[in-house]
Structures are given as structure tokens and as C-alpha cells.
Structure 1
Amino acid sequence: MDPLESVLNVLLGLVLGTLGGLFGIGGGLIAIPVVGVLFGLDQQLAQGTALVMVVPNVLLAIWRYHQRNRIDIRHAAALGISSFCLAIAGSSIAVSLDPAQMRIGFVGFLLALALYNLFRLIQRPVPNNGELRYPWPWLTALGGAAGALGGLFGVGGAVLATPVLTSVFGTSQVVAQGLSLSLAAPSTGVTLATYALHGQVNWALGLPLAVGGLLSISLGVKLAHTLPERMLRVLFSAFLVFSAIMLGYET
């Protein structure tokens, strides 16, 4: 890869990192369709390459969210440990599947998540006093499910955990995004390792993306704390639909 291509990939990482910080997902959800479409990578290779950027982005974003809304260590541990265990199984399955079937499954996953988020926008909001509606050990079930999906689709499970935390457990959007990143950190790490061991990572592309992401993810976190919560949910849903369309075009 020549220097100009590396610079352009760093700039692309800047955009992806900002979006990752804004939506609390580390940037992987948009990076996967972008690198898949722009660079012609199959689904597993796109997911593995995106994870090179996602892992450091998630770690930095957790710190930024923790500075603004302190993350409860018990809640983060309940999500993170169960997510880690199930992500191993999900990623092991993912590297053995047909790439075309994986892409179709990923598109369906994005559309289902977008529809769920849009449905929640028209529901009457439920008053929230800042406390979890269910005892925190129940978070392990969410962590396990999100970890398995994260390992399978390479997105850390945050895209599933965020809407469930707000609708089922009653957290605010920004608190949910911070906890989702705590869930994503261990699962993305083990998923990246699994993909790398199976040769499903383009490091020359992923490392410049990671540099750009690290430079811009703090801006995304700052924006997440300034935008109205309803607007965040609308943008997140639109973002999911856009990603599904991009990938569907290549299927």
C-alpha cells in the first residue's frame, strides 16, 4: 500500500471513528460495509479488518464515556465476561461459514435492528429514574447473547445491547452506549484474535483505519452527549438502514 492510500485510509478512519463514538459501537458496524464495498473484501475478511480499528476505538471510547457518565463496574463486568465467553463460540462459527451467506445474514441482522429501533421511536417513552429495572446479574444473559452475535458478525454486540439496555433495563441512551462498549471490549478482542488466526484480517488496511479512528472517536463521544436522545436514536436507525443498503447492493 503506497503512502497516499495510507493517508486516505487514515481519513476514512477519522469518519468511522467519529460515527463509532457517536453511536457507542466503536465504528465496526459502518466499517464492515465500507471496507467490503470500497475494497471488494468478502464478508469475513471485511469483518476481521474492521476489528483492527474497532478494538482500540472501543477501549478509548469506554474511557471517554466513563469520564462523562461513570460506568458501574459490576454492570460492565456482568456484560463483559459473559460476552467474552460466547464471542469465542460465535467467531469460531463465523470463520467457517460461506461468505455470501454471511453477508445475507448480516444484512438481515441490520434491517431487523433498524426496524426495532424505529418501532421504539413511536412508542410512548417510559419514565426512567436512572436505576436498572431488573437486578444487575440479569445483564449476563444480555452479554452472552450480544457476545455470540458480536463474534458471528464482528460488531462487538453493542448494536444489540444498546437498544435492549434502554428498552428492557431502562437506562438512558448514553449510559446504554457506555455499557455496550464495556460489553464489546472483551468480545471484540477475542473475535479479532480468532479472525487473525484464520487469515481473515487485512492488516495493511486495518492499521491506518485504526489510527484515524483513535484520533476522532473522542469527538463522536462528545457529540453523543450534546445531541438530544431522540435524535441519537433516529440517526442510529438511519445509520443501520444505510449500512444494510450498502451491503445488500454487493450481495
Structure 2
Amino acid sequence: MNVLDFTLNLLLGLLLGTLGGLFGIGGGLIAIPALGVLFGLDQQLAQGTALVMVVPNVLLAMWRYHQRNRIDPRHALALGLSGLLCAWLGADWALGLAGTQIRQAFIGFLLALAAYNLLRLYQRPALVTTQLRQPWPWLALLGSAAGVLGGLFGVGGAVLATPVLTAVFGASQVMAQGLSLALAAPSTAVTLLSYGLHGQVDWWLGLPLALGGLLSISWGVRLAHALPERLLRVLFTVFLLLCAVLLGFRA
């Protein structure tokens, strides 16, 4: 990799890291279609390479969210451990499927989530508190489902967890995004390990993306806490639709 390529990949990582911090997803959701469209990577290789950036970004973003809005250790463990166990199963499943199948399923998943978030924008706002409406052990069920999705798609677990945490558990958007990062941290790490062992990671491409993400993800976290709740949800919905469109170019 020459200096120009490294610099361009670093700049791309800066953009992806900012978006990852803003939406609490580590940047991988848009990195996957970007890697497919810009670099021509197939779906599994794009997912594995995106995880090189996602893993350190998620860890840093989780710490930044925790500094601004404390994450309860019980909630983090319930989500993280259940997600970790199920992510390996999802990753093994993904590596045995055709790239086209995963991409089409991922597009459908994003569109369904975007439609759900759009519907919620027109519903009467639910009461948001600092305490979860449901007992915290129920988070393990959410973590299991999100872990499978995270392993299958490389990312996606945090994207599922955020709207469920706001709608079912009564968390605020920023609280939900912080908890989603606690879920994503161990599951993305084990998914990266699985993809790496199967040779589905371009490390030379992923490392400058990771560096750029680490430099910029705190900007996104700061912006997320500064934006109004409703605007953040609108932007999150638009972001999901954009990712689906980008993936559609590769379908």
C-alpha cells in the first residue's frame, strides 16, 4: 500500500468513525457497503475487513458513552455475554453461505429496521427514564438475537438492539446506543476472529480505516449527545436507508 492509498483509507476511516460514534455502531454498517462499492470486495471479505475497524472503534465509543451516560455493568454483561456466545454461531453460519445471499438478507434487514424506526417517529413518544422498564435479565434474550445477527452480517447486532432498547425497555436514544456498544464489543471481537481464521479479512486495508476511526469516533459521540432525541432518530433512519441503497448497488 502506497502513501496515497494509506491517506485515502485513513480519511475514509475518519468519516466512518464519526458516523459510528454518532449512531453507536462503530462505523461498520456503512463500511461494509463502502468496501464493496469502492474496493470491489465480496460480501464476506467486506464484512471481515470492516470488523478490523469496528472492534477498536466500538471499545472506544463505549467508553465515551459511559463517561457521558453511565452504563450499568449488569446490563452490559447480560447483553455482552449472550451476544458473545451467539455471535460465533452466526459467523460460522455466514461463512458457509453465498455472498449474494448474505447481502440480500442484509438489505432486507436494514429496510425492515428503517421502516420500523420511521413508524416510531409518528407514534406517541414513550416515557423515557433512566431505569429500564423490563427486568435486566431479559437483556440476555436481546443479546442472543443481536449476537446471531452480528455474527451473520459482521455488524447489525447493535442496530437491532438500539430500537428494541428504546421501544421495549424504555431507554433514551443515547442510553440505548451506549448499551448497544456494550453488546457489540465482545461479539464483534469473536466475529473478527472467526472471519480472520477463515481468511476473510484484508488487514492492510482495515488497519488505516481503524486508525482513522479511532481518531474521529469521539467527535460522533459528542455530536450524538448534543442533538435532540427526535433528530437523532431521524438521522439514524436515513442512515439505515443509505446503507441499504449502497448495498443494493452490489446486489
| TM-score of the aligned structures, taking structure 1 as reference length | 0.99
**Contact 1:156–1:187 (8 Å) recurs in 2:** no
Distance 1:196 1:103 in 2: 19
User: One-letter code of the match for 2:195?
Assistant: Y
Distance 2:181 2:129 in 1: 22
Structure 1: any 5+ residue segments left out of the alignment?
none
1:113 aligns with 2:113: yes
4+ aligned runs moved over 3 Å, structure 1: none
- Mean Cα deviation higher: 120-129 or 233-242: 120-129
The CA deviation string for residues 191-231 of structure 1, in whole angstroms up to 9 with x for no partner, is: 00000000100111100000000000000000000000101
Distance apart, 1:156 and its partner CA? 5.2
Distance 2:229 2:123 in 1: 14
Aligned position for 2:9: 9
Distance 1:115 1:191 in 2: 27
User: One-letter code of the match for 1:44?
Assistant: Q
Aligned position for 1:31: 31
1:83 aligns with 2:87: no
After the TM superposition, which residues 155-174 of structure 1 pair with which residues of structure 2 at under 5 Å, given as runs?
Answer: 155=155, 157-174=157-174
Q: Secondary structure at the match of 1:20?
A: helix
Aligned position for 1:96: 96
Structure 2: any 5+ residue segments left out of the alignment?
none
CA RMSD across the alignment? 0.7
Q: Secondary structure at the match of 1:250?
A: coil
After the TM superposition, which residues 201-212 of structure 1 pair with which residues of structure 2 at under 5 Å, given as runs?
Answer: 201-212=201-212
Distance 2:41 2:147 in 1: 24
Aligned position for 2:54: 54
- Mean Cα deviation higher: 165-174 or 123-132: 123-132
**Contact 2:129–2:172 (8 Å) recurs in 1:** no
| TM-score of the aligned structures, taking structure 2 as reference length | 0.99
Distance 2:60 2:115 in 1: 29
After the TM superposition, which residues 187-202 of structure 1 pair with which residues of structure 2 at under 5 Å, given as runs?
Answer: 187-202=187-202
**Contact 2:132–2:169 (8 Å) recurs in 1:** yes
**Contact 1:54–1:210 (8 Å) recurs in 2:** yes
